[in-house]
Each structure stands twice: as C-alpha cells, then as structure tokens.
C-alpha cells in the first residue's frame, strides 16, 4: 500500500470522496430515486458538468502536464458525441419506423425498414441514402468502439504529422485550431452525411429504455459520468505520478533537454495527445445523450478555447484544478446566462446578467492570467501551507 496512488497523491482519495458524496447527494435529492428536490433538467446539467470536467481533465494532462496547448480537444469531444449520436438516432428512428409499418398489409422487409429509416433521418438535408460513415450506426458495440477510436485516430494522425515535423508552441496551437475549424466546417456541410447544421437530435431518447423515464435516465447518466470522471482521475493521477509523469513534465519545461537525455519526446507527446483525445471522445459520448442534441456549432474553435480557459482558471498542472475550473466556470455560465439570475440594480444602471456575464467572464480570464497564474487551485496551496504551519 506504500506505493499506492491513493497514498502518493493525496488529492485522489479526497477527490474520489467528494465525488462519491456528490453522487449520493444528487441521488437522494433526485426526482428518480429520492426526494425530488433536484429537477430532472438540473440533474442533467450536473451530469453534463461532470463530462465537461472530464474533458478539462484531459486538457490538463495535455496542456498542464505536457505543455501542448491544444485548441482541438473539444473537437474530439464533439466527435465522441457524433459517434454515439449516430447509433442513438438510428436505433430510435428505426423503432419508430417499425412501429409505423407494423400494421402494413404486407410485412416490411429489412431493406425497406432500413430505407425508410434513412429517408426519415436524412430528409432534412434532402437525401435518402445512408452515407458511408453511418455504416456502424446499427451496432451499439461498434459505435461505442468508434467513440474511442475515431477521436483517437484523428488525434494520432494529426499528432504524428505535427510532432514529427516539430511544430511546437503557438504554432501547434494555431494548427490544432485550424483542424478544429476544418472539422466544424466539414460537419456544417449538408452533403457530408452528418445532417449539416441540423446536427443530430433526439439523443435523450435511449432506445430500449422508453419505459424508464427521463427522471431515472438522467440519474443513470449522472452516475455514468461520475464513474468515468472518477476512473479517469485515478488513471491520470497514476500516469502523472510515476516516471512517465516526470518525463512528460520534463517535456513541458524543457523539451530539448529531455530529447538530449535520450527520450523519444515525440512518442510521449503523441501518446498523451491521443490518449486525451480518446478521453474527450468518451466525455462527449456521455455528454450529448444528456444534452439531447449535437450540431457543428458545438465544435467551433471557440469551444476548445473555453476548455483551455477553464483549465487555466482552475489551475494548470494539478488535476483537481482542471475539474474545479470546469465545474465553477460552466456552472456559473449556466446560471448567469440561463436568465434566472436576478438583475443587479446599481441605481443609475441595471446590470442584466445575461448580457454582462460574457464581459465579466472575459475580464475574469484577463485577471486570472495576470494575477493568479496558478488559478483557483492556487488557493489550495495557501490552505495546505497554513495546515502545515
């Protein structure tokens, strides 16, 4: 037990403890299993926030630990969502089609059901045939594999190209941003097979669980998101606390020196980049069934920048920092832009939060960058140091 990750990294038991308590509290207060104090939609917001925390955790690994400021990780997140979304939409639409054709005089053939499903899904973009990329959409297992494999493969190819030619620093950031923009523009086209700017919708209806009801499904997804976040946290803590973690941090601090010490820097960077891309894919696959809809706007470059900003606000290079940053900023954003925050009356001038929140948020980024480079996580340092005195 001496070498256990729980002992070496004190944040892990605390984090798992807090996450467990949160999961229990939400379950007890939920509509599905408890008192009903938390509405279904708020339960979903919490579950979605956990998914964003997972993406931020991945971002922290790749940026905070390895020094690669990727502006493309939200694209991987979106891709994961698209992969699971294709299955959700196909399976759900097929059920509807089967129900509609049930009373036909002549029972439908499989080909007819498939054609009717396709025309129902793609009529919105004026097509009736299955695009090639939907080939795996009738199998849950394959779709779950693709959730990991497609973002992973994209990250692998892109990372291999970029790291091989030693694109670093701001150039890499701009290149990843270009990749994100290219992907979102590609998805925006109506004829590329993913329903263009309509995106995929109705994802909250889980095929086979029609009788369960959203109150329970939201809790299940919350549990799933919490489990994924907890496992990822333990895995990430294990990765960064060993020799691997030291090398990765070395790359962040002085890439040349690590290379001269004989380590193959590109391999480490490629591993981290691909692994975190896969993590983001999983996070996205958990997020979008709770959100119910995904469209190419989600993948726009600005979303990836936000991801980086969450990590910066929470505190780079510390895993809990990323989680805190993502949770705090995204929950506050939801609160202030949701229109439920009371307007602040300053006598002459009334602050309408929906309008002024982005301004405050933007200025907040500036202040955090200037005055608190360690982010909110820096507060933890202050507390811990006081303890020791």
C-alpha to C-alpha distances, 21 to 12, 16, 18, 46, 231, nearest whole angstrom: 14, 9, 5, 14, 16
Task: Give the residue among 155, 186, 203, 169 at the shortest CA–CA distance from 300.
Answer: 186
Gap between the Cα atoms of 73 and 277, Å rounded: 6
> 160-192 b/e with 16+ CB inside 10 Å = b?
eebbeeeeeeeebbebbbebbbebbeebbeeee
CB of 304 to another protein, least distance (A): 11
CB of 186 to another protein, least distance (A): 5
CB of 103 to another protein, least distance (A): 12
Give yes or no for a contact between 268 and 251, defined as CB atoms under 8 angstroms apart: yes
Nearer to another protein by C-beta: 69 or 323? 69
CB of 372 to another protein, least distance (A): 11
Residue 102 is classified by DSSP as T
Q: Which residues make beta-bridge pairs with 294?
A: 200
Nearer to another protein by C-beta: 293 or 372? 372
CB of 299 to another protein, least distance (A): 12
Nearer to another protein by C-beta: 206 or 341? 341
Q: How many CB atoms lie under 10 A from the CB of residue 93?
A: 19
Q: Which residues make beta-bridge pairs with 351?
A: 344
CB of 310 to another protein, least distance (A): 10
Nearer to another protein by C-beta: 335 or 356? 356
Gap between the Cα atoms of 109 and 115, Å rounded: 10
Radius of gyration (C-alpha) of the chain in whole angstroms = 22
Nearer to another protein by C-beta: 5 or 351? 351
CB of 124 to another protein, least distance (A): 17
Residue 52 is classified by DSSP as H
CA dihedral of 186, 190, 196, 197, whole degrees rounded to 10: 110
Give yes or no for a contact between 97 and 104, defined as CB atoms under 8 angstroms apart: no
Gap between the Cα atoms of 5 and 238, Å rounded: 6
Q: How many CB atoms lie under 10 A from the CB of residue 15?
A: 19
Interface residues toward another protein, by CB under 8 A:
69, 104-111, 158, 161-162, 164-171, 173-175, 177-179, 181-182, 185-186, 188-189, 191, 301-302, 305, 308-309, 312, 355-356, 358-366, 369-370, 373
Nearer to another protein by C-beta: 23 or 324? 324
CB of 132 to another protein, least distance (A): 17
Nearer to another protein by C-beta: 112 or 215? 112
Nearer to another protein by C-beta: 234 or 272? 272
Gap between the Cα atoms of 279 and 229, Å rounded: 10
> Which two three-digit tokens encode residue 23?
């999961």
CB of 181 to another protein, least distance (A): 5
Nearer to another protein by C-beta: 87 or 158? 158
CB of 322 to another protein, least distance (A): 14
Nearer to another protein by C-beta: 191 or 253? 191
For residue 167, give every residue at least 6 positions away whose Cβ sits within 8 Å of its Cβ, in sequence order, or none: 175
Q: How many CB atoms lie under 10 A from the CB of residue 132?
A: 7
């Amino acid at each position: 037990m001496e070498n256990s990750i729980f002992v070496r990294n004190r944040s892990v038991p605390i984090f798992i403890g807090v996450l467990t308590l949160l999961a229990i509290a939400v379950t007890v207060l939920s509509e599905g299993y408890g008192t009903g104090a938390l509405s279904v939609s708020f339960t979903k917001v919490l579950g979605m926030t956990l998914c964003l925390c997972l993406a931020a955790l991945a971002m922290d690994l790749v940026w905070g630990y390895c020094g690669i400021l990727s502006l493309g990780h939200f694209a991987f997140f979106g891709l994961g969502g698209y992969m699971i979304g294709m299955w959700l939409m196909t399976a759900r639409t097929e059920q509807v089609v089967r129900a509609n054709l049930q009373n036909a005089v002549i029972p439908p053939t499989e080909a007819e059901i498939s054609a009717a499903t396709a025309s129902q899904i793609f009529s919105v973009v004026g097509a009736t045939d299955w695009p090639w990329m939907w080939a795996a959409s009738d199998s849950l297992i394959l779709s779950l594999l693709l959730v990991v494999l497609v973002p992973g493969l994209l990250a692998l190819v892109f990372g291999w190209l970029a790291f091989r030619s030693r694109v670093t620093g701001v150039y890499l950031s701009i290149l990843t941003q270009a990749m994100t923009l290219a992907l979102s523009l590609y998805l925006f086209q109506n004829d590329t097979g993913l329903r263009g700017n309509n995106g995929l919708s109705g994802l909250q209806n889980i095929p086979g669980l029609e009788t369960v009801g959203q109150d329970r499904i939201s809790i299940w997804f919350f549990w799933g998101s919490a489990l994924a976040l907890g496992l990822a946290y333990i895995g990430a803590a294990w990765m960064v606390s060993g020799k691997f973690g030291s090398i990765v941090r070395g790359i962040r601090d002085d890439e040349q020196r690590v290379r001269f010490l004989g380590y193959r820097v590109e391999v480490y960077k490629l591993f981290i980049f691909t692994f975190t891309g896969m993590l983001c894919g999983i996070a996205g696959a958990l997020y979008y069934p709770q959100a119910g809809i995904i469209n190419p706007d989600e993948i726009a470059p600005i979303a990836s920048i936000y991801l980086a900003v969450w990590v910066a606000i929470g505190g780079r290079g510390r895993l809990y920092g990323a989680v805190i940053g993502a949770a705090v900023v995204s929950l506050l954003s939801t609160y202030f832009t949701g229109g439920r925050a009371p307007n602040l009356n300053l006598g002459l001038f009334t602050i309408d939060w929906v309008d002024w929140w982005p301004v405050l948020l933007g200025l907040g980024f500036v202040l955090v960058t200037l005055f608190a480079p360690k982010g909110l996580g820096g507060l933890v340092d202050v507390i811990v140091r006081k303890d020791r005195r």
